[in-house]
Amino acid sequence: MLYVIIGEDRANSLEARLAARPAHLERLQALQAEGRLFVAGPCPAIDSPDPGPAGFSGSIIIAEFASLEAAQTWADADPYIAAGVYEKVTIKPFKKALPA
């Protein structure tokens, strides 16, 4: 089943985010190689594709996992958590409706 993982960044975490980004992307690329990644990306803190020093407010990942518990375990091991980037992570089951 698909699950949406919503990570909300701590204030002033851009430096930590940039430092942890290669390890974070490596895990996402592994999901992609397994055919389990639907979509992933950051949420700019301002209305711009390149927010510069404003940074990001969080990230969204939608990926396939065997269960909510498996999605939680995967999210808990994210380098952004270890680096203190995320203040809060929410995981919910996701059902794709459109496009068909």
CB 55 within 8 A of CB 13: yes
CATH classification at residue 7? 3.30.70.1060
pLDDT value at residue 100: 86
Distance CA 93, CA 57 (A): 22
> What type of residue is 75?
A
The reply to whether 65 falls in a domain is: yes
The reply to whether 99 falls in a domain is: no
Question: What residues in the chain have per-residue pLDDT under 70?
Answer: none
Beta-carbon contacts of 45 under 8 Å, excluding residues fewer than 6 positions away, are 51, 54, 55, 56, 57
pLDDT value at residue 89: 98
pLDDT value at residue 83: 97
The reply to whether 100 falls in a domain is: no
Query: Domain count of the chain?
Result: 1
Domain residues for 39?
2-94
pLDDT value at residue 73: 98
Q: What is the pTM of this model?
A: 0.94
pLDDT value at residue 82: 96
The reply to whether 56 falls in a domain is: yes
pLDDT value at residue 43: 98
